[in-house]
Amino acid sequence: MTWATPMLAALVAAIAIPSLVILYFLKLRRVPREVSSTLLWKKSIQDLQANAPFQKLRRNLLLFLQLIILGLILLALAQPRSTASSAAGRKLVLLIDRSASMRAVDGDGSSAGERTRLEAAKERAIGLVEGLASPSLFEESEDADEAMVIAFDRSAEIVSQFTSDKQGLINAINGIEQTDGPSSIEEAYRLAQSQRPNRVVIDSGGDGTGTDPVELEGIKGGDAYFFHLFSDGKVGELDVVRADEDTADAPSFEYHAVGEAGAVNVGLTALRAERDYEDPTKLSVFVGVQSTDVNPRSVDAELRVGGRVVSVRAVNLDGAVVESQTGEKEASTGGVVFELVEPNGVMVEVRLSTGFGDAGMDVLETDNVGTLIVPPAKQASVALVTTGSLFLREALSGLSISDLQIMSPAQYEEMRDAGETGAIDLFVFDGTMPKASEGGVVFDPGRYLVIGDVYTGPGGVVDQGEGPGTQIINWRRGHPLLRDLTLDAVVLGKSRTIEIPDGSELVSLAETTEGPAIVEMSTGDVRAVMVAFDPAFSNWPFDVSFVVFLASAVDYLGTQVGTDVDVNARQITPGFVLADRVPSDAENIRVRLPDGTMSGEVIAAPDGRIVYGPIHQRGVYRVEWIGSAGASDLVEDGKVMRFYGANLLDGPESDLGSAASLGLSNRVVSASSQGEITRLKEWWPWLLLGAIGVMMLEWWIYNKKVYL
């Protein structure tokens, strides 16, 4: 038991208690009156027995009750409180996980619960806030605790700065909204550390006598922070968190676990659509499913096209494997492929069965649904601009394209001057580049593949001339242009040394020992892939990867029929931003969210780039504008619409078993007790209620004494 203002209560008691007792020593001075008899005044005889200003203090029930009332009020004035910790004046950082796994409805510790993990985390965080040492009602206390609240998924935001206002902290916690993104603690931890003040040291001067304080920029100091993480433990980037030394009163990092430790889940972890290379009207939808149940499962995957169910397939999943030594669970995976004929651009939705029947329930709905935006089927028209090379002519002739035109550089410039280049989906330049126009423009709006040359104009590369023989040592294997290739066998007899300037939007796709070998440029309505070296001075044309590269380039640049995350920005993950380019004449750009609400106006960069987000919910997003439309955009009532699908597709986030401990960079932190958090108890409201109750009793006795 502690007292917030004991001295104030003692001072008031020293004045009030003697004053009350003195009132019972005093005798009222009566005015003499003659009466015939005093027999009827027995009740008043005691008051008439003395004329002295003071009388002997007698036992009096009213005085006793009034002293009790006064004592209770004085105790309330001292603000007694009971707390589980003797430490006070701490700075607490409350990290509340709002990621997709926190939407699981086992927040009450049961797989059949109705409360989400986020709701349970909020309740526990509020319990901690209510237990903070607060300032006195009558004076500011230096020993009051302060807390800051940070909500995070992949991104993080401060929902309440450091404050001792408990109600403000509780309102901030209650205002945290659930998201459908994956979880990473890195940004939340760095955001909290950034709030620390810079460390201040005393500059002793050259003679050692100085006392001037010096602030060390970038080196944090100040009071110690006590971190409290409210999560199910499915948190990424924990290795960036370094816990401070624990104090005698409290640990520096405490993990409050929510959710069921043995929770199992089946969810989508992969979703991709591809059109057949020979016949683009044939569409294949690849579905990847994960199960964390140790028992084998069979779930139904339902395919919907345009909102209509077209197929249902069973996905059989083996039981998850539990490591005998570590106890860690390795999820089982499975999948299914849907094949259909669909030449049009469509919205494809895959939905898993949402329940396990008698064996339990699937507690997370977010990872049971995925959406793909599939562009219409298309075969590209390609124009080869060459001076006579046979390698590209023969390779392109064997590809599945709708039309192949072969022209000289002069013929291309004539087509360009006539404004007829818009009819070609992809221009392939063999050892040459388009000439700069009078305005200095090299690439008109369109798609380009340049072999054996590079763009060195504004925003281009720095060409340092011919380089020695070398070989490709690294390439972006996840890029749609190179993901099906193996380039480590490609040897260059003669290379070209180029450099990508700092701040450039160029992206290196493949590197040799001399620098970038394949680069991609994407600005405004132009997208170009440039192979810096001449394939004729290498063994690449004799390797199958050369033909595969050309086929992928036609698919990536000419048709853009792919729909996975790498191929098309139409697929996004909650927690990331929606980024794309719209036509340069687009106006009044807005984003319609999955719940139907509309964002404010989105301002496009000069090159048409737009960025919105980070987005927080799974579902279909729609960018709307007034202006020109792209090939796969929908135009309705004069408004252009472009659709995007947001899906979780995250294996670790779909593994719902609540972690019993977390591995930080310097220690392992075990979960705190799952019971109620011990709260600081303020007793003064109850003392005031007691005083009011005794006062009512005293009033009743007083009235009985008068009227009986």
CATH of the domain at 303: 2.60.40.10
Let me know whether 295 and 435 are in one domain: no
Residue 107 lies in a domain: yes
pLDDT at 524: 66
pLDDT at 267: 93
pLDDT at 523: 76
For residue 525, report the phi and psi dihedrals to the nearest 5 degrees.
-95, 20
3-state secondary structure 393-412: HHHHHCCCCCEEEEECHHHH
pLDDT at 333: 93
Q: What is the mean pLDDT of residues 471-476?
A: 91
Q: Looking at the predicted structure, is the pLDDT value of residue 682 above 90?
A: no
Let me know whether 130 and 253 are in one domain: yes
Q: What is the pLDDT of residues 491-525, one digit of tens each?
A: 999 888 999 988 788 899 999 999 999 999 987 67
Let me know whether 300 and 257 are in one domain: no
Lowest mean pLDDT, pick from 119-123, 366-370, 437-441, 539-543: 437-441
Lowest mean pLDDT, pick from 214-223, 249-258, 264-273, 608-617: 214-223
Let me know whether 49 and 126 are in one domain: no
Band of pLDDT at residue 291, cut at 50, 70 and 90: very high
Residue with tokens 């404004």, as numbered in its chain: 419
Lowest mean pLDDT, pick from 17-21, 50-54, 180-184, 540-544: 50-54
Residue 73 lies in a domain: yes
Band of pLDDT at residue 391, cut at 50, 70 and 90: confident
Band of pLDDT at residue 51, cut at 50, 70 and 90: very low
Band of pLDDT at residue 39, cut at 50, 70 and 90: low
Lowest mean pLDDT, pick from 10-19, 272-281, 306-315, 378-387: 10-19
State the angle between helix axes of 61-77 and 684-707 in degrees (0 to 180), rounded to the nearest 10: 160
pLDDT at 287: 95
Q: Which of 559, 584, 611 is the last residue before a domain boundary?
A: 559
Q: What is the mean pLDDT of residues 310-332?
A: 86
Max avg pLDDT among 193-207, 282-296, 314-328: 282-296
Q: What is the mean pLDDT of residues 407-428?
A: 89
In the chain, helix, strand, coil percent, each to 5?
Answer: 25, 35, 45
pLDDT at 81: 61
pLDDT at 207: 55
Q: Looking at the predicted structure, is the pLDDT value of residue 49 above 60?
A: no
Band of pLDDT at residue 232, cut at 50, 70 and 90: very high
pLDDT at 243: 84
User: Cα torsion at 116, 117, 120, 126 (round to 10°)?
Assistant: -120
Q: What is the pLDDT of residues 614-639, one digit of tens each?
A: 999 999 999 999 998 876 788 988 89
- Which pair of tokens denotes residue 565? 């995350």
pLDDT at 439: 78
Q: Looking at the predicted structure, is the pLDDT value of residue 163 above 80?
A: yes
Residue 462 lies in a domain: yes
Band of pLDDT at residue 101, cut at 50, 70 and 90: very high
pLDDT at 357: 45
Residue 274 lies in a domain: yes
Let me know whether 100 and 218 are in one domain: yes
- Gyration radius of the chain over CA positions: 38
Kindly report the CATH number assigned to the domain that includes residue 483.
3.40.50.880
Contact of 234 with 656, CB cutoff 8 Å: yes
User: Cα torsion at 664, 666, 671, 676 (round to 10°)?
Assistant: -110
Contact of 611 with 634, CB cutoff 8 Å: no
Let me know whether 404 and 332 are in one domain: no
Average pLDDT across the chain, whole number: 81
- CA 260/CA 264 separation, integer angstroms: 9
pLDDT at 674: 43
pLDDT at 248: 63
pLDDT at 689: 74
Kindly report the CATH number assigned to the domain that includes residue 629.
2.60.40
Band of pLDDT at residue 592, cut at 50, 70 and 90: very high
The model scores a pTM over 0.85: no
- CA 545/CA 529 separation, integer angstroms: 16
Let me know whether 426 and 488 are in one domain: yes
Residue 295 lies in a domain: yes
Q: What is the mean pLDDT of residues 38-44?
A: 58
Q: What is the mean pLDDT of residues 162-191?
A: 93
Nearest to 617 by CA among 633, 589, 595, 640: 595
Count of domains forming the chain: 5
Share of the chain above pLDDT 90, in %: 35
Q: Looking at the predicted structure, is the pLDDT value of residue 286 above 90?
A: yes
Nearest to 501 by CA among 543, 463, 555: 463
Max avg pLDDT among 179-193, 194-208, 469-483: 179-193
Q: Which of 559, 586, 603 is the last residue before a domain boundary?
A: 559
Let me know whether 144 and 69 are in one domain: no
Residue with tokens 């380009």, as numbered in its chain: 448
State the angle between helix axes of 117-130 and 166-174 in degrees (0 to 180), rounded to the nearest 10: 180
Q: How far is CA 501 from CA 451, 464, 495, 507, 603, in A?
A: 21, 12, 19, 11, 27
Q: Looking at the predicted structure, is the pLDDT value of residue 372 above 50?
A: yes
Q: Which of 328, 347, 377 is the last residue before a domain boundary?
A: 377
Let me know whether 533 and 578 are in one domain: no
Q: Looking at the predicted structure, is the pLDDT value of residue 652 above 50?
A: yes
Max avg pLDDT among 124-133, 207-216, 566-575: 124-133
Max avg pLDDT among 50-59, 131-140, 408-417: 408-417
Q: Residue 327: give the domain boundaries.
A: 266-377
Q: Looking at the predicted structure, is the pLDDT value of residue 336 above 90?
A: yes
Band of pLDDT at residue 174, cut at 50, 70 and 90: very high
Q: What is the mean pLDDT of residues 471-486?
A: 86
pLDDT at 116: 92
pLDDT at 677: 44
- CA 113/CA 123 separation, integer angstroms: 15
pLDDT at 552: 87
In total, the chain counts a number of residues equal to: 708
Residue 651 lies in a domain: no
Let me know whether 368 and 501 are in one domain: no
Let me know whether 387 and 372 are in one domain: no
Contact of 402 with 426, CB cutoff 8 Å: no
Residue 564 lies in a domain: no
| Residue at 210: amino acid letter | G
Let me know whether 276 and 257 are in one domain: no
Max avg pLDDT among 208-217, 332-341, 663-672: 332-341
Q: What is the pLDDT of residues 660-679, one digit of tens each?
A: 889 998 888 988 754 444 44
Vertex 587 angle, CA 586 and 590, to 5°: 100
Residue 653 lies in a domain: no
